[in-house]
């Protein structure tokens, strides 16, 4: 299945650093099951009984690992964004060519959206409203880091005259456009991820 999260080289490192939970631990399996259920049915329609059944325990046992239902969503989201951050930096490290960096960032985000790194990333936008204000603030720090890095690369591209839009606008447009691919683009369909990246760059009239 898609959720073979441990095959990603970044994961063991992040687990060791205490940034994310070991996917094979009891808590980690709960997070994985929760994430996939939240994606399927949405946070509000997923019950703690659903989650418990998915991992084969009783609903009350969940609260040995988490204080309440919302904290599960918080954990899913913050771990998803942490993993995305790590992969984002790795995707462009050592690269000088701005167009190549742009492509790498787009591809990296699309990989996150389409389940290469677990299903949590898409929840960041679709289930955002179910986080309390305090939790939103917590995740926002990581999101800001992610967003501003994207903008900085777009700014480079603009400085070199490769694009005409303001980086601020482009980032918002691109985030929306890429997130939306999660609702219509399927890897088993007629197009590959590379072709999707290509069409994105074509839209922005970026050179090869």
Among 4, 9, 24, 41, binds a second copy (CB under 8 A): 41
User: Within 13 A of 84's CA, how many CA atoms are on the CB side?
Assistant: 33
Among 151, 166, 192, 208, binds a second copy (CB under 8 A): 166
Closer to a second copy by Cβ: residue 64 or 183: 183
Work out how close the CB of 85 gets to a second copy at its nearest, in angstroms, rounded to a whole number.
20
The SS3 of residue 116 is strand
Whether 88 and 142 have beta carbons less than 8 Å apart is answered as: no
The SS3 of residue 169 is helix
Whether 200 and 192 have beta carbons less than 8 Å apart is answered as: no
**Region of 64-72, 98-106, 121-129, 145-153 interacting with DNA (CB under 7 A):** 64-72
- Partner from a second copy, DNA, none contacting 186, C-beta within 5 to 8 A by type: none
- Distance between CA atoms of residues 30 and 184, nearest Å: 28
How many C-beta atoms lie closer than 10 Å to residue 21's C-beta?
20
- Distance between CA atoms of residues 105 and 204, nearest Å: 14
Binding mask 97-136 for a second copy (x = CB under 8 A): ----------------------------xx--xx------
- Distance between CA atoms of residues 50 and 150, nearest Å: 36
Contacts with a second copy by CB under 8 A lie at 41-42, 44-45, 125-126, 129-130, 163-166, 169-170, 172-181, 183-185, 196, 199-200, 202-205
Q: Which parts of this chain interact with DNA (CB under 7 A)? A: 25-27, 45-49, 52, 56-61, 63-65, 67-70
């Amino acid at each position: 299945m898609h959720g073979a999260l441990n095959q990603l080289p970044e994961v063991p490192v992040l687990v060791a650093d205490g940034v994310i939970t070991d996917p094979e631990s009891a808590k980690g399996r709960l997070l994985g099951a929760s994430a996939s259920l939240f994606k399927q049915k949405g946070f509000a329609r997923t019950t703690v009984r659903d989650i418990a059944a998915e991992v084969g325990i009783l609903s009350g046992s969940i609260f040995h690992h988490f204080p309440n239902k919302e904290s599960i969503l918080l954990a899913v989201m913050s771990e998803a964004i942490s993993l995305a951050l790590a992969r984002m930096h790795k995707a462009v490290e050592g690269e000088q060519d701005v167009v190549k960096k742009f492509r790498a960032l787009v591809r990296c985000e699309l990989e996150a959206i389409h389940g290469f790194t677990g299903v949590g990333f898409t929840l960041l936008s679709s289930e955002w409203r179910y986080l309390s204000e305090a939790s939103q603030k917590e995740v926002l720090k990581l999101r800001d880091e992610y967003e501003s890095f994207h903008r900085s690369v777009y700014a480079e591209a603009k400085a070199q005259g490769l694009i005409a839009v303001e980086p601020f606008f482009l980032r918002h447009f691109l985030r929306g456009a890429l997130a939306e691919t999660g609702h219509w683009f399927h890897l088993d369909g007629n197009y590959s991820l590379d072709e999707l990246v290509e069409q994105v760059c074509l839209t922005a009239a970026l050179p090869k």
